[in-house]
Every structure is written in structure tokens, then in C-alpha cells.
Amino acid sequence: MKKLSLLVFSLSLILANVVGLTPLESAQAQDLEEINLMLDWYPNANHIPIYMALEKGYFEDEGLKVNIQMPAKTDDPIRLVAANQTDIGISYPSVLTKARAEDLSVKTFGSLVQQRMDCIMFKKDSGIKTAKDLEGKNVGFASDPISESNTFAMVEADGGDPNKVTMTDVGWDLMPALATDKVDAIIGAYVNHEYLMLQDQGYDMDLLKFEDFGIPESQELIFIASEDTLNNRSDSLKKFMTALEKGYQTAKESPEEALDILFSKEENAYTLDKKIEEQSWNMLLDFMVKDGSFGSVSGEQYEAYAQWLYDVGAISKEVKADDLVAPLN
């Protein structure tokens, strides 16, 4: 047994020398707990706290090795988390609520962006000025049926007929669909991303906010985990959020460095615009802490939104706060 231990130690020394680590650092690296995190979309300003925490070693300081995964489909985060095929996913309150109404074993334990960034956006020359004007129009959405419910509820609240609105699932191609006039408006696009990009491309844009038409407040980007993960790895999830908050604070203090780190992680399939991402990050500084401290979630807010979704027929059964939120106490 002593010979085996000596052999393992010797191998660790060799490995440490090869990769440039000290023996202590090598031993610590071997002890890190792996957590797989699936993003909601390709890396952008919304994910700056994550990449800052990775770059600065904040996750490692908490004993974690966080692996970033990219979704292939819009429903990958909720689907794979529920199946315990990934540990944490970034998702949306509407998607979570629908999943819980369908008895998927997932909950949120923390937020990334606390203020809703979703809206209905359109070109000013579309003839749309209010929700009722969506009658006779084609609205693109990103595979989320809740977007249809939100659109119909807004039109009805404004005195219009939802049956006169056409909804087209364009997947992730929201911006191209609007830019090429495949649709007249889009829902599921963000004020800090697609709206800024369309304006930058020369389109005169306008938008309709959900809350102006009676839809309750809701957060935007949230962290979800399966109940199995929540029950067995709650301490690890706490450490994840601790490191993430450090990433947010560092990025807030060093915005230029934060953007440089983001651009170093840019995916080949997409090209980020530094001016747009800088504007987006400036907006997100407030959006990420709107409800108080970074990462916080409110069971009361989630239950109110879930009740509204049930009342308008978007989900088939009532969902309570305890079904949706798992505070990491």
C-alpha cells in the first residue's frame, strides 16, 4: 500500500511539472468537485459574472471545477437538468413554471438577471403602437409556448382579439426573422441584446413592455437544478453562487477587463459587437440586482406569476412557491 501511495504521489509530481503546477496546486485540482453548467445561449454580456468567476479562479476557491456547456436546442437546459444529465442550467421563470406544472423535477435556487428583459419589439414603420395593433400581424417567438400566452394576454388586455394574431416559431432566429420581415414583431428577444443590435443596424425600433398590460413582474435568467441535485449537493450550489457573486462584483469594478474576458470566450458561430456588449453590461449592472442582493429569488414573486399563468390557461395546474423555489439556506 505504501508503494502504491508513493507511486501515486510521484505521478502527481510528474503531472504537476508537465502542466506547470506546484504539488499543492496539483493536489487541490484533483480534489475539485465538478459541476456542469449549461448556458441558455451563446456567451454574451449576460454571462459575464460566470466567465469572470472562471477567469479569476473564484469557483476553484470554493472547491469547484465548473464546466460550461452550450445548448443545442432551446429546451436543452430544462430538459437535461430534469434528466440529471447536467447539474445546473440557465433558464427562465416561464419555462420553469411550465415544467413544474408538467411535474418535471426542477427548481430554481438563484438568479442571474432579476429584471425582465423580454418584451415585444418591432420596427416603428410596422404600424404597431400598442398591443391591440398586433391584430392581423405575425409575431415570431422562440419555441416557448408561454410567449404565445403572454402575447395573447397583452392583446386582450388592450381590447384586441388574440385570435387575429399569428404566432410563428422561429427558434433562435428572432432577430433575422424581424430584420428580413419574415415576421412583424418578435417576443423572447431582449432589450439589452437584440433591441440594441437592431438599432445599431439602422432599424428604428419600438417595444411593448409586459407589465404595461397586466402581466406580473418576473425575473429573466435563473439557475435551475433537479430536486436530486438540490437535495444532495446544496452546499456545492451555495459555493457556486458565492463564487458567482464575486464574479459579478469584480466585473462591476473592472468593466473593461470583464468585456475582454467575455470576448476571449466568444463562440465561433457568433460574432459579438463590443459596443453592443458594453451597452448591454451597463444595463445588466442594475438588472442583476434589481430585487436586492445578487442571486436572490422571491417565492412570493414566482407564485404570483405562476398563478397568473394558470389563470390565463398557460399552465394546466396551479404551482406554488415551494414547487418553484429552493432557497439555499
Residue-wise pLDDT for 147-177, tens only, equals 999 999 999 999 999 999 999 999 889 999 9
Q: Does residue 162 lie in a domain region?
A: yes
Q: Is residue 234 part of a domain?
A: yes
* pTM across the whole model: 0.86
The pLDDT, as a whole number, for residue 11 is: 45
Q: Domain check: are 192 and 160 in the same one?
A: yes
DSSP per-residue codes, 142-207:
-S-HHHHHHHHHHHHHTT--GGG-EEEE-TT-HHHHHHTTSSSEEEEEETTTHHHHHHHTT--EEE
Q: In this structure, are residues 217 and 117 in contact, taking their beta carbons and an 8 Å threshold?
A: no
Lowest mean pLDDT among 140-144, 151-155, 243-247, 297-301: 140-144
Which CATH number does the domain housing residue 129 bear? 3.40.190.10
Of 158, 183, 213, the domain-final residue: 213
Among 190, 213, 236, the domain-final residue is 213
Q: Assess whether 162 and 238 both reside in one domain.
A: no
| One domain, residues 111 and 229 | yes
Cell of 61: 476557491
Q: Are residues 72 and 111 in the same domain?
A: yes
Distance CA 101, CA 111 (A): 20
| Residue 80 exposed, middle or buried by CB count within 10 Å (0-12, 13-18, 19+) | buried
Q: Is residue 70 part of a domain?
A: yes
Number of Cβ within 10 Å of residue 166's Cβ equals 14
Same domain, 239 and 319: yes
4-8, 67-71, 187-191, 316-320: the lowest-pLDDT one: 4-8
- Asked whether residue 205 falls in the same domain as residue 137, the answer is yes
State the pLDDT confidence band at 109, using cuts at 50, 70 and 90.
very high
Domain that holds residue 53: 25-116+220-324
| pLDDT for residue 43 is more than 60 | yes
Is residue 259 a part of any domain in this protein? Answer: yes
Between 268 and 262, whose confidence is greater?
A: 262
pLDDT of residue 320 exceeding 70: yes
Which of 184, 213, 242 marks a domain boundary?
213
Same domain, yes or no: 226 and 111 = yes
Statement to judge: residues 306 and 224 lie in one domain: yes
Which amino acid is it at 262?
L
Residue 99 lies in a domain: yes
Same domain, 248 and 112: yes
Q: How many other C-beta atoms lie within 10 A of the C-beta of residue 324?
A: 24
**In total, how many domains does the chain have?**
2
Residues 245 and 107 in one domain: yes
Q: Please provide the size of the chain in residues.
A: 329
Provide the pLDDT for residue 269.
Answer: 47
- Is 5 part of any domain? no
* One domain for residues 188 and 229: no
142 and 53, same domain (yes or no) = no
In this structure, is residue 12 part of a structural domain? no
Mean pLDDT over 314-329 rounds to: 93
C-alpha to C-alpha distance for 54 and 42, rounded to whole angstroms:
16
249 in a structural domain: yes
